[in-house]
Structure 1
Amino acid sequence: MHKKDCFYLGKVAKKFSFKGEVLVYLDTDEPEIYQNLESVFVEFNGHLVPFFILSASIHKNNFLRVQFEDMFSEEAADRIIGCDVYLPLQMLPKLEGDKFYFHEIVDFEVQDKRLGYIGKVVRVNDSNAQALFEIDFNGKEILVPMIDDFIIKVDRKNKTLHLDTPNGLVDLYIN
């Protein structure tokens, strides 16, 4: 399995017991949908390695208490503490309406209510406090804050993102 075919689920945060159980921090709003997994991919030494789950349960909101197969000691658990956890993209719950996953809208055309076509989504930059749409318009980069009020419609069928940006925001980039 390649990382590009997966989504980030969380991180092995810490040991839970002397029997090799670990707590996996789940980076999701709905941790309960992941408590019945059969396996996950753990990024270990730069590679995604399948880890099979013997038992798992929700622990204090966003943590999953996990007992992996063949991991029955603290020493075994120590080796994966801090490792990222992934699942295949096809396991992402389907979103509808104007909700979307960041990877899902890459290469969508962007139509602004006032300006018309303003480019294609290159990626979503979520490394700052405010996530941004990075849009390419004829080689020029346009940054639009990802604000619910700006998003009119996510048209998956036509791969188009419809926005209503404030006057002057996009104009800064294209004029």
Structure 2
Amino acid sequence: MTKEECFYLGTIVGKFSFKGEVLLKVDADTPEEYTEMESVYVEFNDNLVPFFIERLSLHKSSLLRIKFEEVDTEDDAEDLFKAKTYLPLSELPQLNEDQFYYHEIIGFTVHDKAFGEVGTITGVNENPAQALFEIDHSGTEVLIPINDDLISTVDKVNREIHVACPEGLIELYVNPS
């Protein structure tokens, strides 16, 4: 399994008990959706290694308390500290039609209500303050906040996102004065 075939689930942030349990900080709005997992991939030296789960429970809202098979001591658990975990893309929870995962929208065309076709999404800038669409407009990068108030429609079939940006936002990038 490669990282390209997976999504980032979270990071192991600590040990929980002397019996090898660890705490996984899940990078998701609903960590409870991951309480039925049977295994995860743990990153070691740029390789993904499968770890099978013996037991798992939700711990303090955004953490999962996990006991992996063959991780039976504090020292074993210590070796996993700060390791990133991944799951196959096929295990992503289904979203509503107007929702999307960032990896899904790469290559979508963005249309603004006033400006028209802005360009193609090349990436997502996951800035802690505000995630941004990174859009290629004829070689110029345009950044638009990913905000429910700005997004009018998400058309997954035609690979388009329609937005209504504040007046002048796109022109700041396209026609700087």
The TM-score with structure 1 as length reference comes to 0.96
Partner of 2:64: 64
Shift of 1:8: 0.9
- Secondary structure of the equivalent of 2:7? strand
Partner of 2:126: 126
8 Å Cα contact 1:20-1:73 kept in structure 2: yes
Alpha-carbon distance in structure 2 between the residues aligned to 1:67 and 1:133: 38
User: C-alpha deviations, 1:103-139, integer Å up to 9, x for none?
Assistant: 1111001111112111000111013411111100111
Shift of 1:98: 2.4
Alpha-carbon distance in structure 1 between the residues aligned to 2:128 and 2:81: 26
Matches within 5 A, 1:72-83: 72-83=72-83
Letter in 1 for 2:142: I
Partner of 1:148: 148
Alpha-carbon distance in structure 2 between the residues aligned to 1:127 and 1:4: 21
Alpha-carbon distance in structure 2 between the residues aligned to 1:171 and 1:135: 13
Shift of 1:79: 0.6
Partner of 2:161: 161
User: C-alpha deviations, 1:23-73, integer Å up to 9, x for none?
Assistant: 111111111111111100011122111000011011111111111011101
Partner of 1:99: 99
Identity of aligned residues (%): 51
Partner of 1:11: 11
8 Å Cα contact 1:98-1:151 kept in structure 2: no
- Secondary structure of the equivalent of 2:127? coil
Partner of 2:174: 174
- Secondary structure of the equivalent of 1:149? coil
Alpha-carbon distance in structure 1 between the residues aligned to 2:167 and 2:30: 36
Q: Number of matched residues?
A: 175
What 5-or-longer segments of structure 1 have no aligned partner?
none
Alpha-carbon distance in structure 2 between the residues aligned to 1:48 and 1:138: 37
- Cα root mean square deviation, aligned: 1.0
Q: Write out the 4+ residue segments of structure 1 that deviate beyond 3 Å after TM superposition.
A: none
- Secondary structure of the equivalent of 2:90? helix
Matches within 5 A, 1:17-56: 17-56=17-56
Shift of 1:100: 1.2
- Secondary structure of the equivalent of 2:149? helix
What 5-or-longer segments of structure 2 have no aligned partner?
none
